[in-house]
Amino acid sequence: MYLPQPGDYIDIHIHGGTPVSGIFILESLMAHEDKLPAEVSGVSYTYGIHPWFLNEDNHKQLIISVENSINHPDVIAIGEAGFDRLRGPSIELQRITFEEQVAISEASGKPVIIHCVRAWDELLSVKKKLKPKMPWLVHGFRGNMELAAQLLSKGMYLSFWFDFVLRPESRNLLRRLPADRIFLETDGADVDIRAVYTKVASDLKISVDKLKSIVLSNFDNFFK
């Protein structure tokens, strides 16, 4: 298992990332791809069922894939898993599958990386119902302060959608959020995580090194 080192940039959510010296990446492997983690310096993995690629026919096999992969030493979290009202099967099947992955998370002691699009009520309902002990991180966040506050009040962490966080209008939101609950990501897009850190550090009026230290501390707390 590879973990970030002091001074590293952390890209908390990426698909198909290429390791670069000084950048730790957490690559998201999706169960439908049948791709297994490889031991690569600078890379650890999440493994889960993305709602876009879930259906009634593959549901059981995908859950088995998650169960078989979660104990791999390089897989440090479940995900991305969650809900999407714009793409995917019925919300009921998404809920069942998400709850099953939360159960795997709790049993394995590994946290959850969440994909959620226009289904916040469902996500919060499951959180209230299951009362998980393992932490949850919402990736690709691009919502408003009200939604951010609601998620943070339930103990969740937020990782910001790269395009959103690079816009000038994200500055006010960033400054109002607790720095000890945030992460940054590229999601596999053609953007340099170092540029994301530079923008956010400027918004927060801190140095890039200070921001890297904050995010590393958040990583340590999230993954314990």
Tell me: cis bond preceding 80? Omega within 30 of 0 counts.
yes
- On the question of pLDDT at 40 being above 90, the answer is no
Does residue 36 register a pLDDT over 80? no
What fold is seen in the domain 9-223? TIM Barrel (3.20.20)
pLDDT at 2 over 90: no
Nearest to 66 by CA among 55, 57, 77, 53: 77
102-137 pLDDT per residue, tens: 999 999 999 999 999 999 999 999 999 999 999 999
pTM: 0.95
State the helix-helix crossing angle for 59-69 and 91-108, rounded to 10 degrees. Answer: 20
Closest residue by Cα to residue 93 from 135, 133, 62: 62
Domains of the chain, by residue range, sit at 9-223
Binning pLDDT at 50, 70 and 90, where does residue 162 land? very high
- Edge-to-edge strand ranges of the sheet holding 136-141: 9-14, 23-30, 43-48, 75-84, 112-117, 136-141, 157-160, 182-184
Q: For 151-155, what is the mean pLDDT?
A: 97
